[in-house]
Structure 1
Amino acid sequence: MRDNLVAYAFLAGAILCFGFFSWYPIVRGWLLGFQQVTFAQPAQWVGLDNFRRLFDDPLFVTAWTNTGYFTLLALVLGFAAPFLVAVVLNELRHGSGYLRMTVYLPVMLPPIVTMLLWRWFYDPGPGLFNKALDLVHLPPQQWLESGHLAMLSLVLVSTWANMGTTTLVYLAALGSVPGELYEAAELDGASIRRRLWHVTLPHMRFILMITLLLQVLGTMQVFIEPFVLTGGGPDDATVTVLLLLYRYAFVYNDFGLASALSTLLFVVLGLFSAVYLRLTRGGD
């Protein structure tokens, strides 16, 4: 104990920081889910009433459905696009450093700046995308005002804003694949597609599994895109779980109901993570 006193002192500081600013708010949030909490009156224990009210709210199912749809679209676009970009950048011999910086540049922009930039892209009048459609004689689109296009439009924003970090992770993983394996496969006559399938993907399997898990956890908590760009519209087509939670807490001033929803989201993501890690561990 005496020999490690300094180490324990540093650990105590870290544990206190986590305790006050991370663990305590989590536990406090769980407790609020079983209380009626508003600005007008002190907290009152209501048991499971908040959860019953959640299930009675028609927007509850809508929010979960929209969130699942956003996650599915984000996996189709946002999971594949960074990998393909990383493969292309890894094959380049000239200008790769500049292109890597360009790919990572959106990550360095403040999220609100990104949202305002894309709001102009999607503007139904002078927006960049409709101007581009007009150049090829295609009709303009109501990107954020259409129930069919709004969610896809949000996914495109999220993918563009966040793919830089994942691309760099994939580039680092690609750099760890032994070059002699590619040379042997090339001598055996393997095409680029077969080298990618039989050499690259097996060596990146662990990284791909982790990024898939992190992407699901991140996209299930999508908030800023629908909050800034659509406000949940049109006709609640882009209301997500966190946006509904925000409304409960800061529009309706019902913090107990918001905490109950956050607890459910925590449980769902925790169960998904446990099952996913269990299945991938079994596969290994």
Structure 2
Amino acid sequence: MAAPTLTRPRRRAATAHRPDPVPPTGRRRRRLRDNLLAYAFLAAALVCFALFSWYPIVRGLLLGFQQVTFSEPATWVGVENYRRLFDDPLFATAWQNTGYFTLLALVLGFAAPFATAVVLNEFRHARGYLRMTVYLPVMLPPIVTMLLWRWFYDPGPGLFNSALEIVHLPPQQWLESESLAMLSLVLVSTWANMGTTTLIYLAALGSVPGELYEAAELDGASVRQRLLHVTLPQMRFVLAITLLLQVLGTMQVFVEPFVLTGGGPDDATVTVLLLLYRYAFVYNDFGMASAMSTLLFLVLGAFAALYLRLTRGRD
């Protein structure tokens, strides 16, 4: 019998089965290949942006200083298009109507999604069904939405006038009245676009810590106080961003007046984009249309920069 040894048996070298280390040249080649692949994807994205976003912007800026029609070659006219714009009486009317539409949309369209989100957030059952119901108008094609609401506003057998007749109220000329036409367009726009904003508010409400509501309830805060002192402060960033996006979106309203009223009655619903459309495709003056789009871009850009600066300073 062999005597036990006091030394441990030597382990086999663990490096016997390890793969050979990659030489520095191989690592550099692999890194170069990965970088080239990343740059290739980046270059494809930059080309797409250049062709479909940056080039149209630059081209539109240049067209604002040119006289462009279908039948004649482009000629450089300088600021003549802008002078003609300011001399057009519809120019001021379009901006006034657009500002009025934006103001009405803020009063109705900004409050309605938030109130809907607060109500839906209180439901414990059928949340998915209710959210789908609220978002359903967004999934409809805009032309379908406009035709549906045109029937609602029909002065004869329309839904709204039929409802007024039931409660013994006189029928209204919704789209033919100068005082009601813009409000009617705002109702259509709010109904068609509030689904997305409502879902954003629902997601923001879900991120509010429940401990804050519990502490407020223990302190005896009412529902209104919890809304003012807990919900709104916790959602101020989301509310600020959605307010900015809504202003930028409503200032570019086009489908509603184009389909429902055509700018009438008596140019009461002519908006900036509708006038821009007339310059380009009715009057065949792309220089004026490009000048109009440039002014709209500058106004919206200045408003966005000022708004972000003010809200950033407040935060």
Aligned-partner Cα distance in 2 for 1:226–1:170: 28
Letter in 2 for 1:241: V
Q: Does 2:251 correspond to 1:220?
A: yes
Q: Does 2:234 correspond to 1:203?
A: yes
Aligned-partner Cα distance in 1 for 2:40–2:301: 32
Q: How does 1:1-284 map to 2 (within 5 A)?
A: 2=32, 3-284=34-315
Letter in 2 for 1:178: P
Aligned-partner Cα distance in 2 for 1:216–1:34: 28
Aligned-partner Cα distance in 2 for 1:5–1:192: 58
Deviation, structure 1 residue 94: 1.9
Deviation, structure 1 residue 233: 0.1
Deviation, structure 1 residue 241: 0.1
Query: 1:86-114: CA deviations, max 9, x gaps?
Result: 00000111222211111000000000000
Aligned-partner Cα distance in 1 for 2:59–2:223: 53
Letter in 2 for 1:230: T
| Matched-pair identity in % | 85
Deviation, structure 1 residue 155: 0.1
Aligned-partner Cα distance in 2 for 1:76–1:5: 52
Aligned-partner Cα distance in 2 for 1:153–1:108: 21
Aligned-partner Cα distance in 1 for 2:220–2:38: 56
Letter in 2 for 1:20: L
Query: 1:49-105: CA deviations, max 9, x gaps?
Result: 000000000000000000000000000000000000000000111222211111000
Aligned-partner Cα distance in 1 for 2:178–2:83: 29
Aligned-partner Cα distance in 1 for 2:172–2:126: 36
Query: 1:155-184: CA deviations, max 9, x gaps?
Result: 000000000000000000000000111011
Letter in 2 for 1:238: T
Moved over 6 A (4+): none
Aligned-partner Cα distance in 2 for 1:242–1:207: 28
Query: 1:141-165: CA deviations, max 9, x gaps?
Result: 0000000000000000000000000
Q: 3-state SS of the aligned residue for 1:235?
A: coil
Q: 3-state SS of the aligned residue for 1:19?
A: helix
Letter in 2 for 1:236: D
Query: 1:188-224: CA deviations, max 9, x gaps?
Result: 1100010011111111000000000000000000000
Query: 1:5-35: CA deviations, max 9, x gaps?
Result: 1111101000100100011001100000000
Aligned-partner Cα distance in 2 for 1:277–1:44: 39
Aligned-partner Cα distance in 1 for 2:38–2:106: 42
Q: CA RMSD in A?
A: 0.7
Q: 3-state SS of the aligned residue for 1:4?
A: helix
Taking structure 2 as the reference length, what is the TM-score of the superposition? 0.89
Instruction: Determine which structure has more spread, i.e. the larger CA radius of gyration.
Output: 2
Stretches of structure 1 lacking an aligned partner (at least 5 in a row): none
Letter in 2 for 1:161: A
